[in-house]
Amino acid sequence: MSQSTTLPTAAAGTGEREFMLDVRTQDMEVNMGPQHPATHGVMRILIRADGEICTGAQPHLGYLHRCAEKIGENVEWLQYLPYTDRYDYLAAMNNNLGYSMAVEKLMGIEIPRRALMIRTICAELNRIGSHLVAFGTYGLDLGAITPFLYMFREREWMMALFEKICGARLTYSYIRIGGVFNDAPPGWLSEVERFCDTFEEKWQEYVDLLMVNHIFVQRTANIGVIPKAMALDFGLTGPMLRGSGVDWDLRRDMPYELYAEIWKSGCFQIPLGKGERGTLGDCWDRAYVRVMEMIESIKIVRWCLDSIAPGPVIAEIPKTLRVPAGEAYVGIENPRGELGHYVVSDGGKVAVRCRVRGPSFTNLAVLEELLPGALIADSIAIIGSTDIVVGETDR
């Protein structure tokens, strides 16, 4: 006896693909991860599949849990800085920045202007690096290996720049409470300028090679659609939110450090998903937002390079930090979304509470909603488009 079954489609708005089956088959549980090439780290997604079609998905976390928040309650204020590098290891500068800003807010210290400039340059360069990994590995998930290596070539240069300024390539611990550790070495700023020039050229190549490639478009357009309302319901932030067309960027809407000034100068825009190749909020839009943000970051870096002036790079702070009692929350725009640090102090050398709001963790929740109805190959595209860093989801 044959029975016609209609499986749920991916999400509202896709509509284009609907699978009509004549035979009833048994569902299969597939364990994607913790060791799987497409889960970007040690994450596990339990997929219930009917042939090639996902009918259910459940992300499992915790494989990379390192008690980062608890450590924050046990080490001194400055000593926690190296740990912040390690939750979102692709954007360590931004993590340093977020934590330092939270402590600075509590202490009420004023940061020298040159330090703010260097901080902005570093954070934006790291945003470029992080988006390069995100877009490169997205191509890798979809089977294009070469663009990934091209992007890593530019990222390598970015890491060499950071190596010159702080001595490390991935876990920088460079932006510290009160400013930055070291002033930029001589010639560093002009090398950043050269990097910007080269990057703009190479960026066009990524777009030609991958972004507008017809196969890439076919693989990502109309896949994993997150409508505006759904994006807001899930509390998505960063490119995931802007990919759905919601105009929200902390750099503009809750400006911190120099961003209010930079936004006023009008040198950068907030790219939004427009549904150019498919539906608004599909995987292609999210990738598009990331690719466009790289160029916007370059513009911000150029603005800083133009207006940087010599001066001190760190405020006067005591050697042993004693933070006044109180609590502070600072949210900054990480490459992945809003990275929040909530710190509570009782006036001692050690934090009472050090809470981190990681964007990857929140963005991950949407997977459970998006995967049912997608093909196995599409589920890879959807997971890749969320751009999670498992170090941050688990912390």
Under the rule (CB under 8 A), what is the footprint of another protein? 17, 28, 30, 36-38, 52, 75-76, 78-83, 85, 139-146, 149-150, 153, 160, 163-168, 171, 173, 181-182, 185, 205, 208-210, 212-216, 218-219, 319, 375-378, 380
Least distance (Å) from another protein to the CB of residue 246?
28
The smaller minimum CB distance to another protein, of residues 36 and 299, is found at 36
Residue number, 30 or 267, with CB nearest to another protein: 30
Q: Please, which residue, 33 or 273, has the CB nearer to another protein? A: 33
Of 259, 226, 240, 251, which is closest to residue 388 (Cα–Cα)?
Answer: 240
Cβ of residue 305: shortest distance to another protein, in angstroms? 20
C-beta of 146: minimal distance to another protein in Å? 5
Smallest gap from Cβ 362 to another protein, in A, equals 25
- Of the pair 180, 272, the CB lying nearest another protein is at 180
**Cβ distance to another protein smaller for residue 164 or 252:** 164
Q: What angle do CA 67, 65, 354 make, to 5 degrees?
A: 30
Q: How far is the CB of 234 from another protein (least distance, A)?
A: 25
Nearest CB to another protein, comparing residues 10 and 246: 10
| Minimal distance, residue 380 CB to another protein, in Å | 5
Q: Taking the complex as a whole, how short is the minimal distance between the CB of residue 214 and another protein, in angstroms?
A: 4
Q: Which is nearer to another protein, 168 or 232 (CB)?
A: 168
Residue type, 390: V
